[in-house]
Structure 1
């Protein structure tokens, strides 16, 4: 899946909406690409056969169908444990520091979500991480225009784009949110949520299909923010920067998508804040939320 408009923001403090707007435009966006039809049909069954990380001997196959979305065991797994995640800050113009920062955040995500799946007693495996410098063709299909991050379920890979624009004025919190959002699509995949979404989307069209997409993308926003809360002390997540990013998202988060498949800016900001406040997947059940909350 590919994410939306948040690639890289400057490290300076975001003390005003003007400052946030001027830098958030650099952030980049992400989304989730649908798996190939064959992969979508077999993904739920394949998940337990992966090499598992952090899964206990009591782990069972992830739930399937609507149950996976509306009553997933992750929702009852409690808050994510505090994460000691202290990546070295990025440096303007440095590809190496960009890659190192995103890689370190991914390592922290691996540890946090492995522990969370263990509590939920669901098998877990890490995704792959790949950096790209152009809009490539993934096994799931063409890279979405405007996206700076993508998750493909067919090969269980998080793709992060490195562009001159991203490198010129980096914003570490924005990069962390982008990586965490794409990783959240992998969380959805191995927990059975994403296979359910793909199955339903294949049978839907028009407004019904867009609604399903928004439930998936807004949930990824929420799960990503729950992780950021767990790592807020060490990452760190400065309250001023977080508030600025929420304000910017509320006003501009939807502008990168030609159709309303990721949610209005107000919806994105709502689910990001909800996940951050709770620090738990329990706050992220978009599949049971009213349509007005995922507009």
Structure 2
């Protein structure tokens, strides 16, 4: 369900189109000059029908005000320092990071003209867990569900042994949650609804391309957060090299697209570089 502001915004846009694109009609017979008896017959002008322009196709995907709403806020994050070795520690850490993302994203969402609504919760979801969107599958690490605005976290996949690896675990959790929060941003701004329309209308490779655009955009939104918060999240050294995404070989051939989208979002520090929807299919593979 879309927040009220999106519905209101859609209505407002329709109103603007109708007022701005149509010539206002009047009753031509009442405005016609009175004929002079037995001399000249004056005919009322014939009105020309003006048709309202068609709604812009994929308006929320291609021309979303979010892309022009500026940089994401740099915020202070108070994150737990307990080792990420069990469910309680993982969910506590992920929930704290969502609170950081709330503060970072709210100003940008509001400037774009949408209502800001927080995700409902971070839920522990090992494989087999029943979620509001079905069963959590084995190879899925995280999932955002629009039905209840919940972020589902397959936390056992992020457990690492030894204190030395805890920083890598934190980085990976931040990236996953940042990505799933990106899907929440898509829902808030009407992108998710129109993506769904395009996805179900497509077939085969075209459908996969639509899914790639959605996933790459969610990655891109996460990278924009890291770029805006490179100081507050202390993204430097190895973390800077990967822009908060440790474990990927950024020079691998199949990661070229991923690298390009992440780089431009990180440097822009906002969603301006994340419009994946007009991009050719070959430019959004590698998610």
**TM-score, normalised with respect to structure 2:** 0.73
Larger radius of gyration: 2
1:105 is displaced (CA, Å) by 1.0
Change (3 A) 1:141 1:95: closer
2:151 to 153, 158, 167: 158
Question: What is the CA RMSD across the aligned residues, in angstroms?
Answer: 2.8
Is the CA contact 1:226–1:280 (under 8 Å) kept in the aligned structure 2?
A: yes
1:249 is displaced (CA, Å) by 2.6
1:253 is displaced (CA, Å) by 9.5
What's 2:27 paired with?
Answer: none
2:226 to 219, 222, 228: 228
1:167 is displaced (CA, Å) by 4.6
Residues 18-167 of structure 1: matches in 2 within 5 Å? 43=1, 46-48=2-4, 60=9, 66-135=58-127, 136-163=129-156, 166-167=159-160
Point out 4+ residue stretches in structure 1 off by more than 3 angstroms.
59-65, 94-97, 167-170, 244-248, 250-254
Tell me the alpha carbon deviations over residues 99-144 of structure 1, each in whole angstroms, 9 at most, x when there is no partner: 2221111001111211111111111211122332422232323324
Larger CA deviation: 272-281 vs 73-82: 272-281
**TM-score, normalised with respect to structure 1:** 0.71
Is the CA contact 2:216–2:276 (under 8 Å) kept in the aligned structure 1?
A: yes
What's 1:249 paired with?
Answer: 248
Unaligned runs of 5+ in 1: 1-42, 51-58, 255-263
Is the CA contact 1:98–1:167 (under 8 Å) kept in the aligned structure 2?
A: no
What's 2:200 paired with?
Answer: 202
- Higher strand proportion: 1
Unaligned runs of 5+ in 2: 14-55
Counterparts of 1:159 and 1:121, CA distance in 2 = 28
Is the CA contact 1:218–1:267 (under 8 Å) kept in the aligned structure 2?
A: no
Counterparts of 2:236 and 2:67, CA distance in 1 = 27
Q: Which has the higher contact order (CA 8 A, sep 6+)?
A: 1
